[in-house]
Amino acid sequence: MSTTIRQTRSQPQPIRRSPKFLKYIQDVGQITAATLLGSTMIASSVVAGGLVGLAISFRNLPDVRVLRNYVPSETSYIYDIKGTLLYSLHDEANREVVDLNEVSPHLKRAVLAIEDSYFYSHNGINPSSVGRAVLANFQAGSTVEGGSTVTMQLVKNLFLTPERAISRKVAEAVLALRLEQIFAKDEILEMYLNQVYWGHNNYGVETAAQTYFNKSAKDLNLAEAAVMAGLIQAPEDYSPFVNYEFTKQRQATVLSRMRQLGWISAEEETAARNQPLMIGEIKSFRSSIAPYVTEAAVQELKEKFGNESVLKGGMRVQTTVDLNLQRIAEETVRRNHTALRQRGLYADQMALVAVDPRTHFVKAMVGGVDHTTSQFNRAIQAQRQPGSAFKPFVYYAGFASGRYTPDSLIADTPVSYPDGYEYYSPKNYDSTFMGNIPIRRALEVSRNVPAIRLGQAVGINQIIEICRTLGIKSPMEPVISLPLGAVDLTPMEMAGAYATFASNGWHSPPTFIVQVTDSSGNVILDNTPRPQLVLDPWAAAALNDVLQGVITRGTGTAAQIGRPAAGKTGTTDAQRDIWFVGYVPQLATAIWVGNDNYSPLGVGATGGGFVAPVWRDFMQQALADEPVEGFRPPSDFVRP
């Protein structure tokens, strides 16, 4: 078989829109005058050798040679990191292309029996088949055979409009003759089986077999093959999802025709008629089992390849997400959202992102409490103020400057800074001051004034530059209050940045996609991590050491999970946003809680009191099978 035509289940797909298959074989009593006249013209033309003249008259007919490079649109599939199917996406045509040798022999015989039993003996058109079809249909009392050949149906599908006119019928014949001159019979049958419409948005035999019988086309038995072949004439009418009785009647018609042709025995016909059918389910446009994840992956794909390639290109996409971990994350969000509201927190939404610091692969992501009621993905689209969860960027800048260590003293005393025509005087959460305290303690208990002082000492622009290095792209203004989280960031940005702290400064761009292949298995995108050292290792280790204290004896004690962990609470003014972002060497997780309309969550709402327990709940489940690992101490690295 020519390699230019030969399709496999994993063949690469260019962007082409394939028209929907329209069936025109009618019952004997409904054959129109135009169809009879068209058939008569074809028969007369063949006998007289006049098709050459007809071909000349159709100068604008397409060149069928283009089919040597034609590849039909194909469904793309998205999997989790272990190969579990999450979602399939396609345009109108849900199709998976297969070789002819991947189609059950029963199905090939059944299709030819009911659609074109002389396929291997004619040259594209078969004038005498019209008479045979009339006789066969009369004897059967129903339409058991049509006048159009498989080749004519294929060219009608690919090249012509559904116009019911003599000129179109003749053009169909001319193109069929030409197609048979260029392609072998098996090639034509393969194209036909992959192109034909089988109902419920299934184009091509493979997706149809998966839909109707939950099996591959190569595994269809005789009973199932007869059902499939019978669908072609009127897919939705004969669909077992619509009218099972009609399906069985049509199946009997196909089996009877196969027996009449001598292609099956009477015993095989009877056995197939009596065999129970295990019907599948409609799969086209089926919802994703992890919609927030697959929507994010599709967006990443479209930015790389474009919309058409994603919808029609037959991609096989391996995402970074572990479905088991994703389900844990989704259930954690649902359960704790209910629990928080029962505790009196006026929170409508929650978002969670978990990133592997070793690869920066997104392992789980929840964009809201319920995707069915809101598709807005707060994990990657909602920019909210992180509050004190931003402070680690400031303290890292201080450590990286070489002027500060975790034990350096910093003043927690009143201070004012000129800010335009006014003065900015930061205050602590409890409106008190602690005097000179170690940096370690200042971050553990989340003092605001020391963070502002340190921000001014190292430079606000330097802090912004560090954030950019960590992959944060949201707009940032160099305001005095930036160290207190006066900036809008996404949970994804926070999780990705903290993951770089967890890896002692090694960073890769966070992604939802491990690898993409075309449908023939060729790799077209490879996101194998290529981490770069973007932070000073000593400064990152020093920060990790201090952030462990946040959990062991600071504002995040509710996040203790029985193993070394580092993290930071975050609470904004007026309690509109509360956070906890934390990590172990194997996983960094950011959780945000708030309202889409920015309304306050209630008096006393803090990241430490309400979100840290949610983080603990998720991490304990997520790390259940992970070995306990500690962080490398600052002494392992050279101080800048």
Which residue do the tokens 């295990």 mark? 278
Dihedral sign, CA of 171, 177, 183, 184?
A: positive
Convert 102-135 to b/e letters by CB count within 10 Å (16 or more is b). bbbebbbbbbbbbbbbebeebebbbbebbeebbe
Residues ≥6 apart with Cβ < 8 Å to 407: 438, 439, 440
Q: Which residues are designated catalytic?
A: 115, 388
The H-or-E segment that residue 543 falls in is helix 537-553
Any idea what DSSP says for residue 277? P
With 0-12 / 13-18 / 19 or more C-beta atoms within 10 angstroms meaning exposed / middle / buried, residue 2 is exposed
- For residue 33, how many C-alpha atoms fall within 13 Å in the half-sphere facing its CB? 0
Q: How far is CA 503 from the centre of its chain?
A: 28
Tally Cβ neighbours within 10 Å of residue 54.
17
Any idea what DSSP says for residue 20? P
CB 610 within 8 A of CB 578: yes
Q: How many residues are given for the chain? A: 640
Q: For residues 149 and 122, what is the distance between their CA atoms, to the nearest angstrom?
A: 9
> Residue type for 63, please?
D
CB 507 within 8 A of CB 363: no
Any idea what DSSP says for residue 470? T
Dihedral sign, CA of 281, 76, 151, 261?
A: negative
Which residue do the tokens 């622009």 mark? 461
Which residue do the tokens 């450590």 mark? 399
Q: Which of 461, 460, 440, 471 is nearest to 553 (CA)?
A: 440
Which residue do the tokens 């709402």 mark? 605
Residues ≥6 apart with Cβ < 8 Å to 401: 458, 462, 640
- For residue 60, how many C-alpha atoms fall within 13 Å in the half-sphere facing its CB? 3
Phi, psi of 412 (to 5 degrees): -105, 75
DSSP characters over 477-518: ---TTGGGT-S-B-HHHHHHHHHHHHTTTEE---BSEEEEE-
The H-or-E segment that residue 273 falls in is helix 266-274
Q: Which of 56, 96, 53, 102 is nearest to 72 (CA)?
A: 96
